[in-house]
Amino acid sequence: MSTPDFNLLVTLDAVLAEGSVARAAQRLRLSPSAMSRALARLRETTGDPLLVRAGRGLVPTPRALELRERVSQLVQEAEAILRPAEKLKLKQLVRTFTLRTREGFVENFGPDLIARVGAEAPGVRLCFVQKANKESTSLRDGSVDLEIGVVGEATSPEVRTRALFRDRFIGVVRIEHALSKGQITPSRYATGGHIAVSRRVLDKGPIDEALKTFGLEREIVTIVESFSAALALAQTSDLIASVPGRYTGSLRSGMHSFPLPFSMQEITISMLWHPRMDADPAHRWLRNIVLDICAAIR
């Protein structure tokens, strides 16, 4: 079965509303001959004459009267669908956005983000879920609206990204730790016991590669999956945690932080979203707020 020409609905709506081929042609800005051809196609498609002559005018058939209200509603709905979105009314917006992040983001950026969203759109609720991997499935299936993290090889190429800030790893120990005093050299840093952070339970990473250039190797005492777990252990032991500084600012309260005594490449923290949300006004508003909050907190 061939696909019907939906443009005929607009023509049918005009003909039934005007009750005149000439007036329908004027309404649609068509020539009388083009309108006559369109009416002929409508009659062929519907199997009904639709308008029949009565004296000097035209009157609708029972089938035309039956269709008039339905066709008018369909055309209005189609026009509404194709019309540009109305201006976003934040005070009336009721919506829940799900953000997928690693630990540290909520603690560090969450309070200001929630306060800003609540002030501008009281009906909007933010739901934060943990980021267990870098796959983009949850963005694609719509279970997550926005993701915060480092763009990796597992990130789908279709995903949109926007850099939020750059960060670098730092060392963190408890206040009375030996590394809280004096100059920290690569040798002093490597000598202590270390906590490795890895979701894939890897005991080697960029820090270990950097130490190799000095002929040094650190002792990995334990491996954890999260920055918060690493900092909690470091706060109550003599172990050394190495975490992104800006990302974990609030998690390091009451601890001693220091720059790593060797060069490390910075990482870029970005927000990621599926392209189908790109033009959504509410989603765009949320992205701008996240961008502002991350720029403001150092």
Angle at Cα 112 formed by Cα 124 and Cα 254, nearest 5°? 140
Question: Does residue 1 lie in a domain region?
Answer: no
* Residue-wise pLDDT tens digits, 92-149: 999 999 999 987 889 889 999 999 999 999 999 999 998 877 777 888 888 999 999 9
Instruction: Indicate if 281 and 153 belong to the same structural domain.
Output: yes
Q: Is pLDDT at 223 greater than 90 in this prediction?
A: yes
Average model confidence (pLDDT) across the chain: 89
Q: What integer pLDDT is reported at residue 64 of this predicted model?
A: 85
Instruction: Indicate if 226 and 105 belong to the same structural domain.
Output: no
Q: If you count DSSP H runs as helices and E runs as strands, how many of each does the chain have, helices first? A: 10, 12
pTM of the model: 0.70
Q: Is pLDDT at 85 greater than 70 in this prediction?
A: no
Asked if 240 and 160 touch (Cβ cutoff 8 Å), the reply is: no
Question: Does residue 235 lie in a domain region?
Answer: yes
Domain count of the fold of the chain: 3
Question: Does residue 2 lie in a domain region?
Answer: no
Domain that holds residue 224: 169-265
* Residue-wise pLDDT tens digits, 193-221: 999 998 777 778 899 999 999 999 999 99
Question: Does residue 121 lie in a domain region?
Answer: yes
Beta-strand ranges (E) seen in the chain are 51-54, 57-60, 95-101, 124-130, 146-149, 160-167, 169-173, 193-197, 219-224, 240-244, 256-259, 267-273
177/81: higher pLDDT: 177
